[in-house]
Amino acid sequence: MELSWSLLHPVMFVPYLPTLGPLHPDVVSADLLDAITQVAGTGQFLPHDKDRRWSKRKDEHLLADGVHQDTRRTLIPTRTGRGILRVHLYGAGEHRPEAIETAVRLAAAHDATAARVVWFQNAPDPVAASTRVQLRAFDADHPAPSVDGIAHLDSLPAPEHATFGAFAERLANDGFAFLHSRIDSVGPVLAAVRDGAVVGAIGPMETMPDPIGRTRLLPQYLGVLPEYRRLGLGRLLWRAAMHWGHTNGADYQLLQTTAGGASDRLCQTEGLADLGFVCTMTV
């Protein structure tokens, strides 16, 4: 079934499109939806896809033959190369049983290893993993001042720089082991050093044009070693990253934070715009 923007847009509660993730509200459009459909199954990245910095081939693609739409709801399935099938539900919660049934059926038909349903609302859902989509603008009304005590990893003395590997291993579950494996091919990493070692970091710091030509600061990994938490280092690192984005020409950043988590609480106190919640359930 061909995707209809006129049917999808009225039930899009959060600016989020399958395979691309959260987007600036001004970016979602019929043309962008068409572009996602056109590259489905080709392995090609759209020019503004944030995932292209990590891989040469797009892993997730839309399954056009599984799309269901009417004026009340839109169901859009995708499948990753790793076998994860997702059904994205745009519409009210009453359509969730249909989305679950569709995910189970399509998972069997497409030999998926896991099936998930993703839906969107204005509050966390107690039965699902919920992430908040937030927008940080960079303009005269949203200054990003410089921060003391945070340095570029590559500017550190060799003995301090050498401790990043051990730091990354300890925070492997937060993505830092992966980042460490790509450290020579990505943008700079900002670090907090205490007691002669890296104890917190955020990165990589990179920007990319969005579909309408504005500059987006791409998402980063952020982490602080457990024994150095509750000292304000996470906030210092985040503010240093925002200063980097502002001084490097970014117009905005989008973030997804786990509802109620430390990063979520930090961003909520920093005055970001709340764009709603993405809720995910394995079925």
pLDDT tens sequence for the chain (283 residues): 689 999 999 999 999 999 999 999 999 999 999 999 999 999 999 999 999 999 999 999 999 889 999 999 999 999 999 999 999 999 999 999 999 999 999 999 999 999 999 999 999 999 999 999 999 999 888 889 999 999 999 999 999 999 999 999 999 999 999 999 999 999 999 999 999 999 999 999 999 999 999 999 999 999 999 999 999 999 999 999 999 999 999 999 999 999 999 889 999 899 899 999 999 999 9
Distances from the Cα of 88 to the Cα of 66, 120, 121, 236, 256, angstroms: 11, 9, 12, 36, 17
pLDDT tens track for 22-40: 999 999 999 999 999 999 9
The whole-angstrom separation of Cα 64 and Cα 50 is 22
pLDDT at 1: 67
| Closest to 67 measured CA to CA, from 87, 84, 83 | 87
Tokens for 174?
Answer: 């937060």
Q: Which domains does the chain have, with CATH numbers?
A: 5-133 (no CATH), 139-250 (3.40.630.30)
| Closest to 237 measured CA to CA, from 270, 208, 212 | 270
Exposed, middle or buried, 138 (CB in 10 Å: 0-12/13-18/19+)?
buried
Sheet holding 221-224, edge to edge: 151-152, 190-194, 197-203, 221-224
What are phi and psi for residue 238, nearest 5 degrees?
A: -65, -45
Specify the amino acid at residue 173: N
